[in-house]
Amino acid sequence: MAETAVDVCVVGAGAAGLAAAIFCAEQGRHLTVDLLDGAKTIGAKILVSGGGRCNVTHDVVTPEDYVGTRHLIRNVLAAFPVQRTVEWFASLGVDLKREDTGKLFPVTDRARTVLEALTGRCRELGVRVRLSHCVGEIVRLDNQGASGGRSPARFLIRHQQGVTLARSVILATGGRSLPRPRLGKPGSKQEQRLTELYFGRGGIYRINELRHRSEMLGLLKTQVNLMTQDLNLLFLETLHQHPSPPEDPV
């Protein structure tokens, strides 16, 4: 069902979406921000990043470290250099430490610290995080949409639970490094089961636990292969013992 228009609707509540929602909401209490995500739980990728410790950034970050339009990346990094990233996380209560490799991790060595800081700040700012809201379509309105007393909504966002009207939309639906639902394609049960198989249902995994999980899956795969070979052998033996009768003469 359509609601009053929100100022900003962020689609995707991963690291990028959470940060975008925080920066928008920090522009002023009067701004209403909705953060929609198709997943049932938040932050799966943050929790697995850096082997469960979340390698937040590096002490040296250059535009060459990224794929994409060089000058845009340069502008982003100039506006938000490493030092500001460190300060911003500290302002959220996440102190970072530098390791010998130059990588910066939370002092707690827990990715969950990062996730909880981001979601906690969203809560403080009144960002409405809406899970199980897989977005299938975004329609640009001709400025005739519901106004909600302010400038009219410019976007209609269709999702699993109905529609959201918004004045601005930020898309932060992520990449393909995990089998997650993408824009326009709600995550199938099979995709969700695959994610759970590899990464569990969220939580903190130490590198040894992930290795163990990977070994377990490798073992499972070998057993399935052996079973397939056995079945093939069985079929061949059955065919050998019961050769097909000679074909009827025409």
Ligand X SMILES: Cc1cc2nc3c(=O)[nH]c(=O)nc-3n(C[C@H](O)[C@H](O)[C@H](O)COP(=O)(O)OP(=O)(O)OC[C@H]3O[C@@H](n4cnc5c(N)ncnc54)[C@H](O)[C@@H]3O)c2cc1C
Residues near ligand X (CB under 6 A) are 11-17, 36-39, 45-46, 48-50, 54-55, 134-135, 172-174, 177-178, 180-183
Closest distance of CB 120 from ligand X, Å? 17
Closest distance of CB 227 from ligand X, Å? 29
Closest distance of CB 152 from ligand X, Å? 24
The residue with its CB nearest to ligand X is 14
Closest distance of CB 237 from ligand X, Å? 44
Residue with tokens 């302010």: 150
Comparison of 152 and 203: residue with beta carbon closer to ligand X: 203
Q: Which sign does the torsion angle of CA 196, 89, 58, 100 carry?
A: negative
Comparison of 128 and 152: residue with beta carbon closer to ligand X: 128
- What CA dihedral angle connects 125, 120, 51 and 213, to 10 degrees? -120
SS3 content of the chain, % helix, strand, coil (to 5): 40, 20, 40
Comparison of 147 and 160: residue with beta carbon closer to ligand X: 160
Comparison of 66 and 148: residue with beta carbon closer to ligand X: 66
Comparison of 116 and 152: residue with beta carbon closer to ligand X: 116
For the sheet containing 103-106, what is the strand order? 57-58, 103-106, 96-98
Check: CB of residue 146 under 8 Å from CB of residue 152: yes
Check: CB of residue 109 under 8 Å from CB of residue 207: no
Closest distance of CB 245 from ligand X, Å? 56
Check: CB of residue 53 under 8 Å from CB of residue 150: no
